[in-house]
Structure 1
Amino acid sequence: MLGFLSARQAGLDDPLRLRRAESTRRVLSLEINKDKYVERIHESGVNTLDIEHIENRYMLSGGSDGVIVLYDLQNLSGNSCYTCKAVCTVGRSHPDVHKFSVETVQWYPHDTGMFTSSSFDKTLKIWDTNTLQPADVFNFEETVYSHHMSPIATRHCLIAVGTKSPKVQLCDLKSGSCSHILQGHKQEVLAVSWSPRYEYILASASADSRVKLWDVRRASACLLTLDQHNGEKSKASSEAVNTAHNGRVNGLCFTNDGLHLLTTGTDDRMRLWNSSSGKNTLVNYGKVCNESRKGLKFTVSCGCSPEFAFVPYNSTIAIYTIYSGELMTILRGHFSSVDCCVFQPYLQELYSSGRDGNILAWVPSLREPEPDDTSEELSQQHQQNPAYKDAWSSSDDDDG
């Protein structure tokens, strides 16, 4: 770190390089925060988390008990050991609480005054944060597994919804109705995700082993059906169907630049796809244990080099390098299966939740390295980096 600081001061390195190096170091040193607790409100498992990107301060959680909680992550106590308190709660006594498990919560991307939630009670609710009352409710005929709003859209206000029906449904916030339906899957849609690069591009994952990319402006809509074999197997049989996994596909996550798409399936595999060509990049992550029967919510880092994926792995969280597939470390702290994790890029913090009902905060280690461990490394940096070279001598040295 001293080498990066000196090089930056001397004008030898771009400031972005220092920021990326420090962000990477912080991610690789993540550990459970023993001084920061998230108040436990949920009586059962916590299925979903979301941190707003306006202030990176407020977090939503949705539980199997149907309860939604809004937390303030900022330390206002002035103490090093503190608890992130619940600001407000849509509890069991609330007249508009979800009747069954809340599967997805999401902040409105451009304003903390609104958030959304979807549930096994077949509803998608749009909430006014200030009054904690639903501004609108979308009702469906089937169980809702997932929903997502585009983080960048300026020309549409569509919410993509995946349900037990094989159809992806698009709800328009402006009109308050379902605008149209995307057909092509054969079984329930377990996960949906808008591209962070193109506001009309949507990805959907289904129990039929398929992942589809859609352009919602087109009449036919479906652009690609991802094929794990990149077309080689389908040549042998004209009836072969393109599949992304050999089991249910229950997780989707675009990289932050939108150029690649990560998918997870119950075949215990994670795959990385080129989102433009639809090609499987064939990165090998090894076995990624996945026994979830519903959507699995994982996330990626931002501003690191290389970038990382944070993936629930039974009762742990595995951290992989996205483009090489290397397993960097495993975070242990939950007592039961982990269902969700979200990354806070402002401080390189990670929050995870699972069926044990706990929400854990993972923060970069603040421990100083032992001098014996770093002396050789520092000496090498001094030799290699011109920023460490000096052309002066002290009077003490001259006298000696």
Structure 2
Amino acid sequence: MLGFLAARQAGVDDPLRLRRAESTRRVLGLQLNPDRDVDRIHGNGINTIDIDSIEGRYMLSGGADGVIVVYDLENFSGKPQYTCKAVCTVGRSSRHVHKFSVETVQWYPYDTGMFVSSSFDKTMKVWDTETLKPAEVFEFEGNVYSHHLSPIARKHSLIAVGTKNPKIQLCDLKSGSRIHVLQGHRAEVLSVRWSPRYEHILATASADSKVKVWDVRRASGSLLTLDRHNGDKSKASSEAVNTAHNGRVNGLCFTGDGLYLLTTGTDDRMRLWNSATGENTLVNYGKVCNESRKRLQFTVSRGCSPEFVFVPCGSSVAVYALHTGELVTMLRGHYNNVDCCEFHPDYQELYSGGKDCNILAWVPVLRASDVEEESNSTNTGAVGQSSVNPAFQDAWSSDED
């Protein structure tokens, strides 16, 4: 890495290449950090976590016990060993607590003074962080599996909500009312995600094996219904026309630039789609174990080349190369199934939560081979590279803008 710095200083290398190379090296060096703990508050499994995008300092968690916790990830002790403390908790003693399992939590994208939670108690609550009281409560006819606020929206303040009802609900944060429904699915909607590229584009995944992409400004129906066979009718049976998976689709995740959409299903498959055309890119990730009947929260790295996907897989987190499908590593540390993981783009760190009631921090570790490589690059004056998984050495060294 010192070689990269020397090359950038001499003007023979691009600063963006340096940043991507370092981000990639940090992700490839992720390990369970024995010096960092996260307060264990939940008495039951952890279903969902979210890190605020404003400061990158506060983390939310929601559990099967109905409890919501806010953690401070910052280390003010000056010591390498520290615990991420729970700042505040909506516990069982609160009269505002969710009665049943919390399925999704999310910070308001523009301010940490507010967050949103949804639950199997058929409600979605908009919380004031200071008072820990709901400023607004939306009630639905069935269990709420997922909700999502757009990370980029300026012209609307809609929350998309997936429930046991096949109709997707659009709730307006400003008016406090449900203003529209999107009809097209035939079973419960397990996951919803707004595009990080276009503020009116929404993707939805359902137990009917389908993934639909919507422009919420249009009332005529969905823009796309993803087809894993790319329209090849000879490969599709009459029952499986325009289906994204051969089973329940319970996971959605856009890449950071919004150009691609990842989906996971109970057919133990993960697929990568072109979000503009709806084309299945046919990247083969192999068997991606998925036994969840509910929403599965997985995530994608940002700022790396190549990018990586972090997917809960049993009691581990599987790390895949986004565009080749190759399994890079398995992060093992949980004692029970992992249900959610969230990537911290500022520090290339990963947080995961599972049924063992633990939240684990996975942080980049500088290996001895990296130190030796840096020492050699300094002595020779050459542009240095860290020792990484050989499968990614070429991609890392030939990083493109």
Separation in 1 of the partners of 2:219 and 2:74? 46
- In structure 2, the residue matched to 1:14 is 14
Query: Could you list the per-position Cα deviations for residues 85-118 of structure 1 after superposition, in whole angstroms to 9, with x for gaps in the alignment?
Result: 0000000001100000000000000111100000
Aligned partners of 1:237, 1:44: CA distance in 2, in Å?
41
User: Offset of 1:236 from its aligned partner?
Assistant: 7.3
How far apart, CA to CA, are the structure 2 residues paired with 1:72 and 1:111? 15
Work out the CA distance in 2 between the residues paired with 1:256 and 1:383: 29
State how far apart, in whole Å, the 1-side matches of 2:200 and 2:125 are: 22
Deviations 1:303-347 (A, max 9, x none): 000011100010000111111111111100000000000000101
CA distance in structure 2 between the partners assigned to 1:258 and 1:5 by the alignment: 30
* Aligned-pair CA distance for 1:2: 1.9
Counterpart in 2 of 1:84? 84
Aligned ranges 1:1-400 → 2 under 5 Å: 1-233=1-233, 241-369=241-369, 382=382
Aligned pair count reads 385
Cα deviation digits, residues 12-61 of structure 1 (max 9, x gap) = 11111111000000000000011010000000100000000111000000
SS at match of 2:5: helix
* Cα distance in 1 between the residues matched to 2:203 and 2:90: 30
Q: Post-superposition shift, 1:351? A: 0.2
* Displacement after TM superposition at 1:164 (Å): 0.7
Q: Which amino acid aligns with 1:327?
A: L
Structure 1 CA distance for aligned equivalents of residues 348 and 370 of structure 2: 23
On the 8 A contact 2:348/2:363 being kept in 1, the answer is: yes
Larger RCO (CA under 8 A, 6+ residues apart)? 2
User: Partners of 2:160 and 2:348 in 1: how far apart?
Assistant: 28
Shift of 1:235: 8.4
Residue 391 of structure 1 corresponds to: none
Distance in 2 (alpha carbons) for counterparts of 1:269 and 1:236: 17
Give the whole-Å Cα distance in 2 for the aligned partners of 1:371 and 1:43: 42
Moved more, 361-370 or 15-24: 361-370
Distance in 1, Cα, partners of 2:291 & 2:259: 28
- SS where residue 135 of structure 1 aligns? strand
**Which segments of structure 1 move beyond 4 Å, counting only runs of 4 or more?**
234-240, 370-381
Q: Aligned with 1:369: secondary structure? A: helix
> For residues 282 and 5 of structure 1, what CA distance do their matches in structure 2 show?
37
CA 317–384 in structure 1, closer or farther in 2 if over 3 Å, else same: closer
Contact 1:23 1:304 in 2 (8 A): yes
Shift of the 119–240 alpha-carbon distance from structure 1 to 2, 3 Å rule, reads closer
Q: TM-score, normalised by structure 2?
A: 0.92
The structure whose Rg is larger is 1
In structure 1, C-alpha distance between the alignment counterparts of 2:287 and 2:235, rounded to whole Å: 28
Structure 2 counterpart SS, 1:59:
strand
Task: Identify if the C-alpha distance between structure 1 residues 6 and 267 changes in structure 2 by more than 3 Å, giving closer, same or farther.
Answer: same
Between the aligned partners of 1:226 and 1:22, the Cα distance in structure 2 is 35
Report if the CA contact (8 A) 2:3-2:384 is conserved: no
Provide structure 1 residue ranges, at least 5 long, that are not aligned to the other structure. 386-400
Could you tell me whether the CA contact under 8 Å between 1:234 and 1:242 is conserved in 2? no
The 1-side partners of 2:371 and 2:87 are apart by: 43
One-letter identity of the residue aligned with 1:153: A
* AA matched with 2:331: L
Distance 1:236 1:76, change over 3 A: closer
Change (3 A) 1:379 1:283: farther
Q: CA RMSD in A?
A: 1.9
Where 1:27 maps in the other structure, the secondary structure is helix
Amino acid at match of 1:254: F
CA distance in 1, matches of 2:262, 2:207: 16
1:374 deviates by 7.5
After superposing the two structures, state which structure 1 stretch, 74-83 or 93-102, moved more: 74-83
Equivalents in 1 of 2:231, 2:349: separation in Å? Answer: 39
> 1:170 & 1:277 partners in 2: Cα distance?
24
Aligned-pair CA distance for 1:241 = 2.3
Q: Is the 8 A contact 2:3 2:374 kept in 1?
A: no
CA distance, structure 1, for counterparts of residue 358 and residue 349 of structure 2: 16
Q: Give secondary structure in 2 for the equivalent of 1:89.
A: strand
Paired AA for residue 269 in structure 1: R
Query: In structure 2, how many angstroms separate the alpha carbons of the residues matched to 1:148 and 1:375?
Result: 46
Distance in 1 (CA, whole Å) between partners of 2:271 and 2:192 is 16
Contact kept, 8 Å, 1:224 with 1:278, in 2: the verdict is yes
Contact 1:234–1:241 (8 Å) recurs in 2: no
Q: TM-score, normalised by structure 1?
A: 0.93
Q: Hey, what's the Cα distance between the residues in 1 that align with 2:53 and 2:237?
A: 47
Structure 2: which 5+ runs fail to align? 386-401
Letter in 2 for 1:281: T
Identity %: 73
Aligned-partner Cα distance in 1 for 2:261–2:5: 34
Q: 1:114-138: CA deviations, max 9, x gaps?
A: 0000000000000001111100000
